[in-house]
Structures are given as structure tokens and as C-alpha cells.
Amino acid sequence: MVADLVRRAQSGDAEAYTELVRRFQDAVFATAYQTALDFDAARDIAQETFVRAYEGLARLRDPRSFPAWLVRICRNLSVSWLRRPERAWAPLEVAPPVSEDVAAQVASRDLVTRALSALPSDNRLALSLVLVDGYTYREVAEMTGASLSTVRGRVHRARRQMATEVLGMVEETLQGNAPGEEFTVDTVRESLNRAQQALDAGHRSEATVIARQAWDHLAGLSGQPEELRNLRLQSLVVTYHSLLWTDPAAAVEALRQAMQILETAGEPPNVAFCLSEIARNDPKLTPEERGALEQRAIDLWREAGMHQAVAEALFFRGWHRVDSGDPASGLVLFEESRQALADLPYGDMHGRLEATDEFLRLAGPDMDLEGLMAAQATCDVAQVDGARLVHRSEPGYGWASGDLQDHATFASAFGGLWRVGWFPVTGPGAGHEEESDGFSYTSNPTRRRVWLEATRAPETPAGAFDECLLVRASITESPLDAEDESPQRKRNAYHCGELYCWFARGVGPVAYRFDRADGVRVNVVLSRFGCPESSDARLPLVPGARWEYVPAEPPPNLSGVAVTRLTHRSDTGECYFATTVFGRRSRSC
């Protein structure tokens, strides 16, 4: 019974859904074709139909209605395909010579299309369903929602209208072009692509659900071993990244499964990636276990000649040593990291090391770290996109030590870059407004509304700036998190709140305030700015530009500075902003 298969699939039975796909794939293909009258488009529409059904199956209340529900999804997608603007024209091209077999196949398809297009749509659908895979009249009635007698009449009238010789060609062509057994693999692949898109958009909960469903579904599929292995890996990697902030233990477990597959396949560099991520994110590891995993990853990358990965691992190990009170060994690891990068083009790892160099200068030649309360060496990567600079890398792309309150005291105004998602360069101007999704520790993205105003900046140690562009943003949590009491939801208070960032022409951000949802205020102003050449932009994107920020209301017994430098700009418009934070308590405290 179809209803039983649907119920089993809704409860997570992958084999049941596989059987549903196999049972109805030809019906869906025929439904798509009778609307699109294009074999290739019909395959694409049919595949998308099963993807949509796969993702929405849990919401189907009456399992008995699955056939009609599936056909309805397919018909809606087919109509959407017909309305696509790019179908309105096609460029004229000189067709290459074709073989007689190919020419006959094309002529056959053309005849089928012209013959079926002459039929009324309901008759065309009924006839297609009967011809594709021999569906009975009763099955067609169930799928289309028509009565049995109505279906019989539609098929009869369609058969009578079609010439006998054309009917035979229609049957042969339709059956020859119906989806094969690999169709269900295509469905899973498309689902995983959708999961990755959801992850990229910040919808981690959706990405997790789709990736896990795909993993379960893969257990019941047959196909090329390498293809299935790659799909399993894709499912596990998406699951890892979607769960990393909300459920680190489950994320690490997914990565361990991926590592087992990679070890069996003999892919040491990717095994090393898994080892490094596990070492960084598994909360259950002891320092000794963490160090052993990191060292094993470094050894594998060295053997594979992957210098960028080696440099990154050494960078984080060096900062772990500094943070644990052993700066001398940290310096050795930083130098090894630089050596690994010696022959590589400039990238974010170079920026992180330049931020580290700035920290070492601030700490002094004797590495006096007494009273250190906030340390940071990060590199944000942004891309010039028209009139604005768009943030590209994730926040915290480097090392940070100290609690959130300490980093609220000593912060760079460039923290607004990743919170807003972009900074103005030559535009937009006052009056501009927009909304978008933002970063979240939970599975649901935050929502940010951004608008621009012309105003005067607060007083700064670097001077007065009267004609500024104020970038304002209101960042709120998802309504879906309203009842969430998890630590991740509480950490989102660090990202939500009201943001103000003032831009002076030729200088960039001169003041920055962020009133966080947890009641903490970030409030810094420009204390010094330097740029190798003048610029009329709201944000001068000149390599070597340097911004220093201090608290607008300096707290007693605390000292420190946040430095951001534009260390490199590539020919393709990538900008690397290295940020260093150095804050500490007075020795008299």
C-alpha cells in the first residue's frame, strides 16, 4: 500500500522513500512532459519534484493523498518552468553535422512533441501516464484526482485523435526517455546541494535536516561506489558545519565518520583536515590529546606538500602556547608558520601572521604579558563589489583570547564589517535601506535591517568629523528562537542589538558603537589614522592604511588599543584586514 510506504518514509525509513520514487518516477516524468513537451526539461522537473516532496513529506497529513500531492507538485513546477523568461527566445546557431541515428532520434522526439501538443492538456496527461509505464486507469485516476470513468474517456479520446503510426512512436519514445534507476541518486545529490545553499544562507537547521535525511536515504541506494561515497562525505561535511555552533559533540561525530571514509579511500590530506578540526572543536579532548591530533595533521599535510594547511595549524598551536603562558615556544611556531608560507601567494594566513606581528610589537621585546586581558590576531577578507566592500570570511578568522566583555572594551570599528555584511566605499549614500539574514550561533539566522544617514560623528582623539555617513543596523534574533534556552541562543546576544558606525570621507570608520542585546556596549573611537596616499572614498582601500581605536570612555586601570590594517589588496579586489587587539590591566590593580 502506498499509504504504508509514505508513513514509513515519514518516520525516517529511507528504503520506503526509495520505493516511492521508483514507483512514481515515471508518472512524475510523464506529468512533467505533458506540460513542458521537452524531454530534458521533464527530467529536470521530475527530479526537482522528488526533491520538493522529499523535503516536505513530513508535512503531508494524509498519506493516502501522496500520489495526487506528488502530481500537484510536479504540475506546479512545470507551469513555473513554462513561465521562465529565458524560454522566450534562443540564439540561432549553426548546428553541427549529426549521425543518422541521432537525426532519427531528434525527428522522433519532434514528432512526439507535435502530436502530443495537439491534445487537450487533461487528455495528454492521462495518455502519457498510461503509455510511460503502463499505469492502470485506476492508478491514473488516483494520481490526477479524476473519476475512473473520466480517465477512461480521456485516454479513449486521446488515442482516437492520435494517428495509429504516431501512437506507436509516442509509446516507444516516452518509454525510452523515462528516468532510469540512477534517478534516486540524482534526487539525493540535488537535496545535498540544497542543504549547502541553506547552510551558506545561514539556515543551519534546514541544512541539518536535509543532510541527515540524505544520509539516511543513501543507505538504501545502489550505484557507482565512488559516487555514493562522495555523496556520503558531502552529507557528513554539511552536517558538521551546520551543527558546529549548536551541537559540537554531534558535529565532531559526523566529522569522525567522514574521517573513517577518507581513511578507507586513502586520502591523507583530507584526513588531516578532519584531525585538525576535531582537535580544535572536540570539548572532551585533553590538551595532550589535542596536541597529538594537531601534530598528526601537520605531519600528513607536510607529506602531501600542503604548506598553507601546515602554516595554519602551526599558527593556532603557537597561539595556544602563548595563551597558556609559554610565549617562547609560541614564537618558534609562528616562525615555522611563516616559513611554510614563504612560496605561497598572499592569503588570509599571511594577514593573520601580520596581525600576530603587531601583537608582538605591542607586547614588547620581552613579551610582557602580565595583566593581559584581551588578545586578538585575526584577518577578515572582504571583496570589492561595485560601490561597496562585502565581507567574505567568517567572524573570528584567527585567534582571540579573553572574554566577551574584554573584547567589548577593546574593539576595532571593523567589527561592524561582518555584523552589517558590508561597508560603503563610493556608495551607497544617505537614505539607502535594506534587510538581510545575519550570523547566528543557533540554527536560525539573525535578521538585520540596515539604513544610512548623513550626520556628525562623536568627538574622537583623531579630531572632529562633521560630515559623516552613519551606517545604522538593527540586528534581531529569529522569532523561532523565542523559547530557546540553550547557551547558543544566549550567545546570540553578542550579535544582536543596535549598531552605529560613522564614516568620514577619506578616512573610513571614525567611531563605532554597538549596543548589544545583553546590555553590553561596544563604544570605540579613532585615535590615529595613517594612509600612504589620499582618497576621496568613504573607506580608502589603500594597502598600508592603518586605523587605531581606543575606548570612547576609557575604563580606569585598563589600557589597550585595537589596530586594523589593510595589509593587501589583490588584483581581483580582495582586501585583507588584519586586526590586532592588545588590552591589559594596570600593574597597580
Task: For 529-541, write each residue's pLDDT tens digit.
Answer: 999 999 999 999 9
> Of the ranges 28-42, 153-167, 277-291, which one carries the lowest mean pLDDT score?
153-167
3-state secondary structure of 100: helix
Please tell me which residue, 242 or 1, carries the higher pLDDT value.
242
Q: What are the tens digits of pLDDT across the range 516-528?
A: 998 999 999 999 9
Residue whose C-alpha cell is 593573520: 352
User: What local confidence, expressed as pLDDT, does residue 172 receive?
Assistant: 52
For residue 546, pLDDT over 90 is answered with yes
What integer is the mean pLDDT of 400-411?
79
How many CB atoms neighbour CB 186 within 10 A?
Answer: 18
Q: Which of 104-118, 142-156, 337-351 has the highest mean pLDDT?
A: 337-351
pLDDT, mean over the chain? 83
What integer is the mean pLDDT of 344-359?
95
3-state secondary structure of 471: strand
For the CA atoms of 102, 106, 109, 111, the dihedral, rounded to the nearest 10 degrees, stands at -130
How many CB atoms neighbour CB 162 within 10 A?
Answer: 19
User: What local confidence, expressed as pLDDT, does residue 162 receive?
Assistant: 53
Give dist(CA 31, CA 46) in Å, integer.
Answer: 8
- What grid cell was written down for 128? 502519457
Q: Residues 294, 313: contact at Cβ < 8 Å?
A: yes
Q: Residues 377, 319: contact at Cβ < 8 Å?
A: yes
Please tell me which residue, 67 or 354, carries the higher pLDDT value.
354
What integer is the mean pLDDT of 226-252?
90
What integer is the mean pLDDT of 277-298?
88
User: What local confidence, expressed as pLDDT, does residue 65 receive?
Assistant: 85
- 500 band by pLDDT with thresholds 50, 70 and 90: very high
HSE value, Cβ hemisphere, 13 Å, CA-based, for 53: 31
**In Å, what is the CA distance from 270 to each residue of 248, 253, 274, 298, 300?**
20, 16, 6, 12, 9
- 85 band by pLDDT with thresholds 50, 70 and 90: low
Phi-psi region of 386 (alpha: psi -120 to 50; beta: other; left: phi over 0): left
User: What local confidence, expressed as pLDDT, does residue 179 receive?
Assistant: 58
For residue 7, pLDDT over 50 is answered with yes
What integer is the mean pLDDT of 203-224?
82
- What grid cell was written down for 204? 543551519
Please tell me which residue, 549 or 5, carries the higher pLDDT value.
549
Residues forming a β-bridge with 449? 435, 474
> Of the ranges 77-86, 98-107, 231-240, 370-379, which one carries the lowest mean pLDDT score?
98-107
Give dist(CA 548, CA 466) in Å, integer.
Answer: 20
For residue 258, pLDDT over 60 is answered with yes
Which of 481, 521, 480, 515 has its CA nearest to residue 498? 515
* Residue 377 phi, psi dihedral angles, 5° rounding: -145, 95
C-alpha torsion sign, points 527, 533, 538, 541: negative
For residue 254, pLDDT over 90 is answered with yes
What integer is the mean pLDDT of 320-341?
91
- All domains in the chain, ordered by first residue: 2-82+103-180 (1.10.1740.10), 345-585 (no CATH)
Residues 6+ apart with CB under 8 A from 161: 118, 119, 123
For residue 512, pLDDT over 70 is answered with yes
User: What local confidence, expressed as pLDDT, does residue 4 receive?
Assistant: 87
For the CA atoms of 565, 566, 568, 572, the dihedral, rounded to the nearest 10 degrees, stands at 160
For residue 400, pLDDT over 70 is answered with yes
H, E, C per residue of 413-445: CCHHHHHHCEEECCCCCCCCEEEEEECCCCCCC
User: What local confidence, expressed as pLDDT, does residue 106 receive?
Assistant: 45
Give dist(CA 18, CA 222) in Å, integer.
Answer: 10
Furthest CA-CA distance within the chain: 101
For residue 551, pLDDT over 80 is answered with yes
Which of 471, 385, 404, 467 has its CA nearest to residue 433? 471
- 132 band by pLDDT with thresholds 50, 70 and 90: low
User: What local confidence, expressed as pLDDT, does residue 102 receive?
Assistant: 43
Please tell me which residue, 514 or 193, carries the higher pLDDT value.
514
Q: What are the tens digits of pLDDT across the range 117-131?
A: 556 666 667 766 666
Eight-state DSSP code of residue 332: H
Give dist(CA 443, CA 484) in Å, integer.
Answer: 11
For residue 100, pLDDT over 50 is answered with no
User: What local confidence, expressed as pLDDT, does residue 99 receive?
Assistant: 43
3-state secondary structure of 522: strand
Please tell me which residue, 316 or 173, carries the higher pLDDT value.
316
Long-range contacts of 331-340 (CB under 8 A, 24+ apart): 331/360, 331/367, 337/310, 337/311, 337/312, 338/311, 340/307, 340/308, 340/310, 340/311, 340/314
> Of the ranges 20-29, 289-298, 383-392, which one carries the lowest mean pLDDT score?
20-29
